Structure 1
């Protein structure tokens, strides 16, 4: 960590301590268990989520306007997380970390979309988590990026990404129907879908609303913790987060090959080339939407993918794939 980055990290840690000490708390209501979609592994099913104070986790404004979009987005980030809370599912128990996140592994569940109940040991709050358990008949998994792959954000230019996300109401988000259609086609009603993004977990409720509104196929999200701790400043980089998430998904599904879907604006070609190298024989196809400027490193990575046995497609639209055409 550079000296400037270290000084900024120390400053932000102090600000977060002050916020934790003086932030408003609602002592009269039960905490909220914000659950994320779970997924199956050979060892059981992974449940994930976050425990928050109800002060800021309030009802969202439904009237579509730019002001309400900004207000709703602010509520996603102004959170009162609850560390050290005991959370239980069946006989399995864990404790939330310093930012209120939890993860626990419960016994295996039958194939299909299942539901697991969660509760807090020292509170009355309960919640249900959806869990995706692949069918034994599934023959492929789909791992897709979100920003500029499923929906337009301008993620390759951070100011545009933040402005688009903060000011656009859920119903007005532009979703790429060709990507959603390709995912549905690849899913074929039986194959599991996963979404990997460098967006923060704070956007989880918002992304769920966008996907539900625009009928994008369901699947567990693997988002990024942008929190600050005593030892880390922004928990992981874009590339390392996506690579780690892909590794987790591939390891969780040892019997499947995968389609990797991304775009050219966030170095997905490099991330996916490295995934091919780490998991020989496990990646069946790489699909990249052309978005933003493509730098030399991405061009080289794309050419390197073409030299492998993995099917590769790159283009401004995924429509050719819906017509049964091949690489490009």
Structure 2
């Protein structure tokens, strides 16, 4: 199971996992709550394949990595010579070199790696839970019910999110070159589920930065929500050194505080912060953080819905008027359905 990678012309970061195939497949809108639960159960009850070798191949170049105790493998490819193209997405062939079962045959897959072209205007880093799709992340039982009994069809993003993210990906030239990154505290077990959700609801593809469950490579449950997200966001900034970023999150957890730290660590790299207002009694805290961020030369806008963020982005010359009209159209369609 390769996860989408990313990097620059000098270094690429690519991770994935070797697991027994549980035959989960795609969901349908007709799937029952029991069927959804059974598929989600399989996602968490994984059979990992440790201590096996993976070969990555691109344009005649080869690299090797070994899976850890939980089946994860990681490539940090440096001084590569990826072919220069106008396409941001490069394909890396992955192959399992070890024999796990008798008569195994060839086990291989293809990983997508984002390498920015010169047409990039800016990048976008977004949270997922309660930023793109309602999950009740601050209410544990509601979140568990939503996670285990829904599927990619029944989980509906906030109105206008799909069109807004498409507008950001296209920027002002109308070409889909701006990189989109999604950083979440959701576990890697939900990777295929989140990819399916984004595909069904037409949210632009991009690398997902999730975290491990249990005794991970880093520490128990990959550390705190704050530490995990800060580490992943700053990894993106490091591997995309020449690109400014728009950061999007919500008020339910610690996104504003995390983004404040990013601004301190990478001055001059953040264009704007949009925070979706989803939690009660957080306005005073957000107001204080907004003042700290403004003092560092960046604006934070607390928004009630996607249209507010889209109109602000339009006023700053980051997206096109016609795309804002599509966002309004999508939001009205969602409200009428």
- Range into which the TM-score falls when normalised by the shorter chain: 0.7 to 0.9
Out of 242-251 and 133-142, give the one that drifted further: 133-142
Which consecutive residues of structure 1, in runs of 5 or more, have no partner in the other structure?
1-33
1:240 and 2:207 aligned: no
Superposition TM-score, scaled by structure 1 size: 0.84
State which of 273, 277, 288 in structure 2 corresponds to 1:286: 273
For residues 201 and 7 of structure 2, the distance between their equivalents in structure 1, rounded to whole angstroms, comes to: 26
Which consecutive residues of structure 2, in runs of 5 or more, have no partner in the other structure?
100-105, 171-175, 317-337
> 1:92, 1:105 within 8 Å by CA — same for their partners in 2?
no
1:317 and 2:284 aligned: no
For residues 293 and 217 of structure 2, the distance between their equivalents in structure 1, rounded to whole angstroms, comes to: 39
Query: Residue 181 of structure 1: SS of its match in structure 2?
Result: helix
Following superposition of structure 1 onto structure 2, how do residues 118-197 of structure 1 map, counting pairs within 5 Å? Answer: 118-123=94-99, 124-188=106-170, 189-197=176-184
Q: In structure 2, do the counterparts of structure 1 residues 202 and 303 end up closer, same or farther at CA, with 3 Å as the change threshold?
A: same
State which of 55, 60, 71 in structure 2 corresponds to 1:100: 71
Corresponding position of 2:186: 199
Corresponding position of 1:274: 261
State which of 204, 214, 217 in structure 1 corresponds to 2:201: 214
Corresponding position of 1:67: 34
User: Aligned pairs, how many?
Assistant: 292
For residues 76 and 135 of structure 1, the distance between their equivalents in structure 2, rounded to whole angstroms, comes to: 35
Deviations, residues 2-45 of structure 1 (Å, cap 9, x unaligned): xxxxxxxxxxxxxxxxxxxxxxxxxxxxxxxx111111234233
For residues 254 and 11 of structure 2, the distance between their equivalents in structure 1, rounded to whole angstroms, comes to: 33
For residues 308 and 61 of structure 1, the distance between their equivalents in structure 2, rounded to whole angstroms, comes to: 45
For residues 204 and 230 of structure 1, the distance between their equivalents in structure 2, rounded to whole angstroms, comes to: 18
Q: In structure 2, do the counterparts of structure 1 residues 231 and 289 end up closer, same or farther at CA, with 3 Å as the change threshold?
A: closer
Q: In structure 2, do the counterparts of structure 1 residues 229 and 218 end up closer, same or farther at CA, with 3 Å as the change threshold?
A: closer
Corresponding position of 1:225: 212
For residues 222 and 35 of structure 1, the distance between their equivalents in structure 2, rounded to whole angstroms, comes to: 12
Query: Residue 2 of structure 2: SS of its match in structure 1?
Result: strand
Superposition TM-score, scaled by structure 2 size: 0.81
For residues 217 and 298 of structure 2, the distance between their equivalents in structure 1, rounded to whole angstroms, comes to: 42
Query: Residue 176 of structure 1: SS of its match in structure 2?
Result: coil
